[in-house]
Structure 1
Amino acid sequence: MDNKTLAIISYIPLIGWLIAFFIGRDNADNFLKFHLKQSLALVIFGILFNVAFFIIVMIVPSLTFLGYIGYVVWALVVIGIINAAIKRKIQVQK
């Protein structure tokens, strides 16, 4: 598989990331490393958000509407897949 395909696969939570990591670790370029790091950060953020949200809702049930914020994570995953598909790496200003 080429690095573009592995970058797209890396956005599939856990299984896709592991596949992309182990298959691409020998010939990973900066593009693949960037998308691996970004997709891992999104998964970790999603898990932490869900745990924190669950605790908050157990304490204050009227805040269940905040669950819609979780859709932002999925939107970021879709944006990451699109950027990997068109082979674009977002440049961060220093």
Structure 2
Amino acid sequence: MTNKGLAIVAYITIIGWVVSYLEFKKRADKSALVNYHLGQSLGLIIVSFALGIAISVLAAIIPSLYFVSFIISGATLVLLLLGVVTANNEAMKPLPIIGKFFEGRFNFDGRIDAAKQ
């Protein structure tokens, strides 16, 4: 699979992320594009999971807030699609709203940054 393909697959569910991650780890030449999009998609997965739990708890307490879960799900889908389009264009742009927070937080290529030592 190409680097572009791995970057796109990283956004397609948690299973796609795991497949992309395992394929990336096997490679001798680590692509910065795949590394970047693995981090962005993992950030999106973490945020959507946390928001899903929070909204579920709130909807259980206040049932009239259940419609908020549809808005959150729609926003997650839009961010996922934007991530796929960005990966398809082979660009390393952060996702809107949450992307800057996760930029540079994850390093999947196994190298230790000299500045962090």
TM-score (norm. length: structure 2): 0.73
Partner of 1:32: 34
Moved >4 Å (runs of 4+): none
What SS does the corresponding residue of 1:11 show, helix, strand or coil? Answer: coil
Mapped contact 1:11–1:81 kept (Cα < 8 A): yes
Distance 1:44 1:61 in 2: 24
Q: Greater helix share, 1 or 2? A: 1
Partner of 1:69: 72
Q: Is 45-54 or 64-73 further displaced after alignment?
A: 64-73
Q: Is 21-30 or 39-48 further displaced after alignment?
A: 21-30
What SS does the corresponding residue of 1:14 show, helix, strand or coil? Answer: helix
Distance 2:60 2:38 in 1: 33
Identity %: 30
Distance 1:9 1:77 in 2: 11
TM-score (norm. length: structure 1): 0.90
Q: Aligned pair count?
A: 92
- Counterpart check, 1:8 vs 2:8: yes
Distance 1:30 1:43 in 2: 20
Alignment RMSD: 1.3
- Structure 2, unmatched stretches of 5+, are 95-99, 101-117
